[in-house]
Amino acid sequence: MPTPPLLTASELVAAFSSGELSPVEATRTALATIAERDVEHGAFTLVDPESALEQARASEERWREGNPIGWLDGVPASLKDMFLTEGWPTLRGSLCLDRDQPWREDSPVTARMREHGLVLLGKTTTPELAWKAVTDSPLDGITRNPWNPALTPGGSSGGSAVAVATGMGDLSVGTDGGGSVRIPASFCGIVGFKPTGGRIPLYPASPFGPLSHAGPMARSVDDVALLLDVLAITDPRDPAALPPVPGTFREAVRRDVRGLRAAHSPTLGYVDVDPEIARLVASVVALLDGAGLTVEETDPGFGDPAEAFGVLWSTGAAKWLDSFPDGAAERVDPGLRAVWEQGHTYSAGDYLDASAAGASLGIHMGEFHTRHDVLITPTLPIPPFEAGHDVPPDSGYENWPQWTPFSYPFNLTRQPAITVPAGFTSAGLPVGLQIVGPRHSDDLVLAVAKLVEEINPWPTDRPATPAS
């Protein structure tokens, strides 16, 4: 039997306002879905029903009195277990951190969600230290794709993507250091946005440095824009955070983008793409061209920056892991241990050269965007593959960046990039389309994504619960 369509966060807020639905009812539904589905999918590392219902009851009272405290008051949500959360452990997928220490501080992301009345259901799974593009860890085991549990949901924000896709909460926040919001959003058939670096304040500072971003994840572009309005509020603990922008993202998402210039790069000039994925993305690009966006097929003209990314990624991991307790090398994910060791082979000069390569790529893309307002690519070149593997079995790939070539270049440049559903393969697996804009053009990227949603609406049904 088909499962019922899910309400978006925007629809939930409208129902709260009219009295047709209460935050308590919405929270109970989300908790029931977690109880039903998370045994199979492994999206959560922590669920706190008592706290969630307490938050929901407080929200219900605010709506009854006509005094909601934010744009998303009462909406059930989660956040990746990379964000500090007062009262809940932040173990980051690792066995090496002390669960029983005091947890007394909220990250900026957590604090903004609380201040705007979102109901925090719990924390979602991540690979250890969010180091790779699938979601399994020594702490939480394997997280599985909602469309086919034998397959990976991607990562590293895989738990968040699965939670949103299945209705285990309506919103989530992930981190993205090389694609970790966009990759699982694409594999799970939802929207995932990595805004301009610094748009969402981060604390504590990530050892992965300027590669690191936080990003909202939802089932609609409107919901992503609403959540970004909450998350982008400044926080004094992040000295690199960007100042507020005029207006709101929830308004900017409806900007008219017809007549703007888009570049469609099917391969970036060097990526091998599954033919079915290429066809699905090209079909949506054709619809965009017909809807008034002026599309030219062209590549941005840079080579694969994998080497520079690898230096920055592995040195960041090494710096973080050096702070772990003695004996950690025997307890961490073996793949992460290899990255730890690799990071120690690089010099300060290597790090500076890699940083300069990223800056050069950013300058190149800045010039590219003087001719093309946005760049459109596939989000990933392959469909989801067997869960429990860092790379597709028998693919010949040695590491995860080799199968995620469309995402990490834009962490090096700190540009805004969003993935939206483009369709489904013949095997019924989601395919994502990525939209990249110049730095600080978060509003533009959201508006183009909204146009995609309008001309190529994606299903509102959640992935069906497999028959037992």
For residues 362, 363, 365, 366, the Cα torsion angle rounded to the nearest 10 degrees is: 110
- Taking the C-alpha atoms of residue 463 and residue 34, their distance in angstroms, rounded to an integer, is 14
Instruction: Please answer whether residues 460 and 219 qualify as being in contact, where contact means their C-beta atoms are separated by less than 8 angstroms.
Output: yes
Contacts 24+ apart (CB under 8 A), 320-328: 320/129, 320/207, 321/129, 324/94, 324/96, 325/96, 328/96
Cα separation, 453 vs 9, in Å, equals 16
DSSP 367-405: HHTTT-SEEEEES-SS---BTT-SS-TTS---SGGGG-T
- Give the C-alpha separation, 420 to 250, whole Å: 17
d(CA 233, CA 93): 28
| Burial of 327 from C-beta contacts in 10 A (0-12 / 13-18 / 19+) | exposed
Active site residues per annotation: 80, 156, 180
> Computed from CA positions of residues 340, 344, 350, 351, in that sequence, does the dihedral angle turn out positive or negative?
positive
Q: In what order do the strands lie in the sheet with 374-378?
A: 44-47, 119-124, 76-80, 171-176, 213-218, 191-194, 417-424, 430-436, 374-378, 261-264, 294-297
Computed from CA positions of residues 9, 427, 389, 409, in that sequence, does the dihedral angle turn out positive or negative?
Answer: negative
Please list, in sequence order, all residues whose beta carbon lies within 8 angstroms of the beta carbon of residue 394, skipping any fewer than 6 positions away.
none
Q: What does residue 327 show for φ and ψ, rounded to 5 degrees?
A: 90, 0
- CA 377 – CA 198 distance, rounded (Å): 23
Give the C-alpha separation, 323 to 311, whole Å.
Answer: 19
CA dist., res. 434 & res. 454, Å (int): 16
How would you classify the pairing of strands 191-194 and 213-218? Answer: antiparallel
